[in-house]
Amino acid sequence: MQASSLAAVPSVPQSPVSRQWTVAEVLALYELPLMDLVWRAQGVHRENFDPNAIQRSTLLSVKTGGCSEDCGYCSQSARYDTDTERERLMPLDQVIAAAKVAKEKGASRFCMGAAWKGPKDNDLDRVLDMVREVKALGMQTCVTLGMLKDGQAEKLKDAGLDYYNHNLDTDKEFYGQVIKSHTHDDRLDTLDQVRDAGINVCSGGIIGMGESRKNRAGLIVQLANLPQAPESVPINNLVPIPGTPLADNPRLDPFEFVRTIAAARITMPKSWVRLSAGRQEMSDELQALCFLAGANSMFYGDHLLTTGNPDVDRDDALFARLGVKAV
């Protein structure tokens, strides 16, 4: 690349806490020529990670449907008429069996999701048993249970939880157009509790919900400017689900998704950036471009919480074609 073409590329911090980003600065990243942006993101990636290693996580819905919240993208909300049926919390033995299969197939982290506004104490006790048993298998553990009450994060930490997932979803400006039953600040409060308990934070967002590029930049800024950047940053591409308010949203330009991955990598250089929902609709070539832009984690397995995911054989074949390894 010519030296003159690099002159327009903003400098990148070498530490996730070395500076505070502004929305204008992240917008400037988005507006770079795509090749310059991906080049810069790949450089940051190589400074902090093995460029040919991808972390693989498996996600299991341990309690599906019947959620009281009104998240406009979610088929699990009790407020919407979708094909997702309400189910009780899974028995412990079924969860452990699924975790063993995930480990055998090459996943290093096992994530358990429950469709709650937040866990009741008696439900949390059962989840704590799941965390302990999965941890005993030698896997990293992650849960997403909604908003936490005082003391619950500490219980999860004591049980051996490694990561707590609680996405910001979108920036504060756009949040109320997607969710009205709780606030953006409520989500930040749960992230504070998780961090204070000493649990790794997994937090990202969903793009393609009708937000502007400025909103997408705002989401990246809010994540990067947390007191400590999340250790894992899942970037979801909206999967429009019939029966939800966002069912008819047009698909996002794939290159905009790549730009979001690159912006996350540049602003959060030491975080795992994960390809999450929407990967089933991505070609192998688009996934490879996302890896080049700095994604180095993915959900692995046939299903996410309620949406499909590429099957294991397709992912194994993709890894072989690209010459990348699972970690």
Structure tokens at 89: 């919390």
* One-letter amino acid of 124: L
Which is catalytic among the residues 40, 56, 274, 279?
A: 274
Which is catalytic among the residues 71, 216, 279, 290?
A: 71
At how many degrees (to 10) do helices 213-224 and 254-267 cross? 20
Which is catalytic among the residues 56, 109, 142, 279?
A: 142
Residue 74 a catalytic site member: yes
d(C-alpha 265, C-alpha 272), whole Å = 8
Which burial class, exposed, middle or buried, applies to 185 when counting CB atoms under 10 A from its CB (0-12, 13-18, 19+)? Answer: exposed
Closest CA to 18 of 268, 296, 273: 268
Which is catalytic among the residues 56, 109, 111, 216?
A: 111
Residue 67 a catalytic site member: yes
Which residue, chain included where needed, has tokens 């450089």? Answer: 43
Closest CA to 134 of 161, 104, 166, 164: 161
Residue 290 a catalytic site member: no
CB 209 within 8 A of CB 73: yes
Which is catalytic among the residues 67, 187, 216, 265?
A: 67
Terminal Cα-to-Cα distance of the chain (whole angstroms): 31
Which is catalytic among the residues 56, 202, 279, 290?
A: 202
> Active-site positions?
67, 71, 74, 111, 142, 202, 274
